[in-house]
């Protein structure tokens, strides 16, 4: 089967033929349309049989839209608030105010970098303690003014480093989960790319949890699981499959609420289309949650998480 | 697929098991020491003071009034929701862990008394798949908290865990949220939660329930942190200080309230319980 690179190459070639078609006045349109057909057929084939590891690669594709790309398309008037009010401005976790379809909301969004400079600044999207402090500060602001909270998840995980540990990254994650569970406003989390372990779940304890079709959400990275359980870093494909970390699998297991479709090839093939679908979904879920009283909201949130787990009762 | 469907859930009893070996060698000082003396000494080497690893049973025995132990765990066993198979299948790993520890899961949950004061205590067993938190441990912790509310007493959790149980995937990860949600109910009832961190308290356990104690006490010699030193070295190749993720590191950085020697742990918990007993309700 062809891989994504072959398809991209073919796409580039078709583009070149189109250019040629214009310049020389040659009539290549029949060939072009034939190749286009072939391309879309090959792409459909490739993505109909996506393995879990291929999904992981799409979720991490550097061309994939990041939080700010969606924020720009989905919300209006995003007004970023930088401060965690304690020690710093983590660029891997952005917070701010915005409007969604005319409704005021608070946003918490994990952000990866596209350039080396951006990645240096945001630690490749790995959130440090100040990022979670910032998230908690935003949750409290949302609570005070009754803004629904939208969180966008896209991180390989919390930043593993000396500085993180010195500032109690684990305690910060715990506090963030706690705050998110406590705020009496509707909360929606959407995993747009990588949902890496504790670093993701820290802002994922929401009333509704959505995922883009090629996003992943996992207790550990396939690389980590391969190293620990298979004692071999090469066995990432097996680890990825075993972890059941893809959006369709998680939906089937009943731990998320909706999978949002992406264009063939991934969200980066058509940002506008993906953003529109995500926006519609956010509005839909927000409408549903807004109909509940605060008591209903809080008790259904509690029941949702109180009931999570799979075990068997035996006689004893 | 559920395992042990037709088996009885085995209740934990704190009976002393017959032990053939009379002596054991201390890994620290190399001395041959009389095993019974080590046991009576909270598994601390009488020669050099080194701590031997405590099993969950030994740990709970060292903390509570004699004869006050009552297993209050729910009769549940782990499922294999992912059908997880690495070099071994998950059900096989579970079976081996049960064989090795004599416990149905990685946590003992008991109602007991400490100096006559009623408590509900959960103690993790590191020998059971690294004390990892899966659906069963998460449920037992929540059940323990609810039992504490019902009995109107304190909840104590002694952690010894590498973090979330990988073989249960997302279900394990979400136990962080579940235990945090239920922990809030205890706070609402104004009942104290004492979190005791021992060697090791790391990963998803440290990043959720264990870090949410009203009082957090670490045992001397504990390891406390989120990411393991290996992961940190691999990700960022950073030189780590000698005391990294030790009890001393944790207290220096404000992560915990107290560092306590093993032989004093029971006394410390008693002090805390007494203080809060007057306050609760």
Residue B7: the pLDDT is 53
Taking CA–CA distances from A166, the nearest residue in chain B reads: B253
CB-based contact A171 B207, cutoff 8 Å: yes
Does residue A19 sit in the same domain as residue A116? no
Nearest to A160 by CA among A201, A123, A116: A123
Does residue A63 sit in the same domain as residue A44? no
Mean pLDDT, rounded, for A268-281: 97
| Residue B225 β-bridge partners | B202
* pLDDT single digits (tens) B126-150: 999 999 999 999 999 999 999 999 9
Tell me which of A81 and A20 has the higher pLDDT.
A81
Mean pLDDT, rounded, for B51-59: 89
Distance from CA of A144 to the nearest CA of B (A): 19
In a domain, A187, yes or no: yes
Ramachandran sector of residue B123 (left: φ over 0; alpha: ψ -120 to 50; beta: rest): beta
Here the CATH number for the domain that contains residue A249 is: 3.90.226.10
* pLDDT single digits (tens) B171-225: 999 999 999 999 999 999 999 999 999 999 999 999 999 999 999 999 999 999 9
User: Which residues of A, range 150-179, sit inside 8 Å of B by Cβ?
Assistant: 158, 160-162, 164-171, 173-175, 177-178
Angle at B210 between CA B140 and CA B265, to 5 degrees: 95
Mean pLDDT for chain B?
90
SS3 A313: strand
CB-based contact A305 B174, cutoff 8 Å: yes
CB-based contact B226 A169, cutoff 8 Å: yes
CB-based contact B135 A309, cutoff 8 Å: yes
Distance from CA of A112 to the nearest CA of B (A): 16
In a domain, A73, yes or no: yes
Residue B17: the pLDDT is 59
In a domain, A315, yes or no: no
| Residue A216 β-bridge partners | A194, A246
Tell me which of B209 and B41 has the higher pLDDT.
B209
* pLDDT single digits (tens) A184-225: 999 999 999 999 999 999 999 999 999 999 999 999 999 999
Say what percent of chain B tops pLDDT 70. Answer: 94
| Mutation site, A159, A179, A198, A245, interface B, largest B CB count within 10 A | A198
In a domain, A311, yes or no: no
Distance from CA of B49 to the nearest CA of A (A): 29
Mean pLDDT, rounded, for B92-111: 95
pLDDT reading at A121 higher than 60: yes
In a domain, A316, yes or no: no
Asked casually if ipTM beats, i.e. exceeds, 0.90, the reply is yes
Does residue A148 sit in the same domain as residue A200? yes
Total CB pairs under 8 A between chain A and B: 210
Does residue A135 sit in the same domain as residue A31? no
Residue B4: the pLDDT is 47
CA distance A133 to A83: 9
Q: Which domain holds residue A13?
A: 4-49
Distance from CA of B103 to the nearest CA of A (A): 14
Does residue A42 sit in the same domain as residue A74? no
A229 touches B: beta carbon within 8 Å: yes
* pLDDT single digits (tens) A13-61: 888 888 888 776 678 888 888 888 988 888 888 777 788 999 999 999 9
Taking CA–CA distances from B12, the nearest residue in chain A reads: A316
8 A C-beta contact, residue B141 and residue B182: yes
Does residue A92 sit in the same domain as residue A218? yes
Does residue A43 sit in the same domain as residue A175? no
CA distance A231 to A228: 5
Mean pLDDT, rounded, for A60-78: 97
**Domains (range + CATH), chain B:** 54-279 (3.90.226.10)
Which chain A residues have a beta carbon less than 8 Å from that of B75?
Answer: 313-316
Taking CA–CA distances from B226, the nearest residue in chain A reads: A170
Does residue A229 sit in the same domain as residue A199? yes
Does residue A22 sit in the same domain as residue A148? no
The pLDDT-based confidence of A277 (bands split at 50, 70, 90) is very high
8 A C-beta contact, residue B122 and residue B140: yes
CB-based contact B79 A173, cutoff 8 Å: no
For residue A15, how many other CB atoms are within 10 A of its CB?
Answer: 11
pTM of the model: 0.92
CB-based contact B227 A169, cutoff 8 Å: yes
In a domain, A121, yes or no: yes
Does residue A127 sit in the same domain as residue A256? yes
CB-based contact A230 B225, cutoff 8 Å: no
CB-based contact A197 B204, cutoff 8 Å: yes
Does residue A152 sit in the same domain as residue A239? yes
* pLDDT single digits (tens) A249-259: 999 999 999 99
Residue A316: the pLDDT is 60
CB-based contact A169 B164, cutoff 8 Å: no
**Which pair of structure tokens corresponds to residue A36?**
């286009």
pLDDT reading at B228 higher than 50: yes
Nearest to A198 by CA among B257, B205, B138, B190: B205
pLDDT reading at B281 higher than 60: no
SS3 B219: strand
The pLDDT-based confidence of A2 (bands split at 50, 70, 90) is low
How many domains does chain A contain in total?
2
Does residue A19 sit in the same domain as residue A123? no
């Amino acid at each position: 089967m062809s891989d994504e690179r072959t398809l991209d190459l073919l796409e580039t070639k078709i583009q070149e033929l189109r250019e040629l078609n214009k310049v020389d006045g040659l009539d290549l349109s029949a060939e072009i349309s034939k190749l286009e057909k072939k391309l879309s057929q090959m792409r459909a084939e490739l993505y109909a049989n996506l393995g879990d590891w291929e999904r992981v690669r799409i979720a991490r594709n550097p061309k994939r839209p990041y939080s700010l790309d969606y924020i720009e398309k989905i919300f209006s008037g995003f007004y970023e608030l930088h401060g965690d009010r304690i020690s710093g401005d983590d660029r891997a976790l952005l917070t701010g105010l915005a409007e969604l379809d005319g409704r005021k909301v608070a946003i918490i969004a994990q952000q990866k970098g596209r350039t080396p400079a951006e990645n240096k600044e945001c630690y490749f999207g790995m959130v440090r303690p100040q990022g979670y402090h910032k998230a908690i500060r935003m949750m409290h602001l949302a609570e005070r003014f009754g803004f629904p909270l939208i969180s966008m998840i896209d991180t390989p995980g919390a930043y593993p480093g000396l500085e993180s540990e010195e500032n109690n990254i684990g305690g910060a994650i715990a506090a963030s989960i706690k705050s998110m569970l406590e705020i009496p406003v509707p909360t929606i989390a959407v995993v747009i790319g990588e949902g890496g372990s504790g670093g993701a779940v820290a802002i994922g304890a929401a009333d509704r949890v959505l995922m883009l079709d090629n996003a992943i959400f996992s207790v550990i990275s396939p690389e980590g699981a391969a190293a620990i359980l298979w004692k071999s870093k090469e066995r990432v494909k097996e680890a990825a499959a075993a972890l059941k970390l893809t959006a369709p699998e998680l939906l089937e297991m009943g731990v998320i609420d909706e999978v949002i479709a992406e264009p063939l090839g991934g969200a980066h093939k058509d940002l506008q289309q993906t953003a529109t679908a995500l926006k519609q979904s956010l509005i839909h879920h927000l409408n549903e949650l807004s109909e509940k009283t605060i008591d209903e909201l809080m008790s259904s949130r509690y029941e949702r998480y109180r009931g999570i787990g799979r075990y068997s009762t035996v006689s004893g | 697929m559920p395992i042990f469907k037709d088996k009885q859930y085995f209740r934990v009893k704190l009976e002393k098991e017959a032990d053939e070996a009379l002596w054991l060698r201390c890994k620290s000082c190399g001395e041959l020491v009389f095993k019974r003396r080590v046991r009576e000494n909270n598994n601390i080497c009488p020669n050099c003071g080194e701590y031997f690893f405590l099993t969950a049973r030994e740990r709970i025995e060292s903390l509570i009034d004699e004869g006050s132990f009552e297993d209050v765990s729910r009769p549940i066993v782990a499922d294999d929701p992912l059908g997880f198979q690495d070099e071994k299948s998950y059900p096989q790993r579970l079976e081996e862990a049960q064989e090795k520890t004599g416990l149905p899961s990685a946590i003992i949950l008991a109602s007991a008394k400490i100096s006559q004061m009623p408590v509900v205590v959960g103690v993790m067993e590191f020998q059971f798949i690294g004390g990892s938190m899966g659906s069963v441990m998460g449920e037992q912790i929540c059940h323990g908290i609810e039992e504490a509310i019902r009995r109107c007493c304190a909840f104590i959790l002694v952690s010894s865990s590498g973090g979330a149980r990988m073989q249960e995937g997302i279900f394990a990860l979400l136990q962080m949220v579940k235990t945090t949600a239920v922990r809030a109910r205890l706070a609402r009832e104004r009942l104290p939660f004492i979190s005791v961190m021992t060697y090791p308290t790391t990963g998803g356990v440290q990043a959720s329930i264990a870090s949410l104690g009203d009082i957090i006490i670490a045992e001397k010699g504990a390891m406390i942190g989120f990411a393991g030193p290996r992961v940190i070295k691999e990700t960022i190749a950073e030189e780590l200080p000698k005391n990294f993720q030790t009890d001393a590191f944790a207290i220096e950085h404000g992560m915990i309230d107290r560092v306590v020697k093993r032989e004093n742990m029971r006394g410390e918990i008693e002090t805390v319980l007494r203080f809060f007993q007057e306050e609760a309700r």
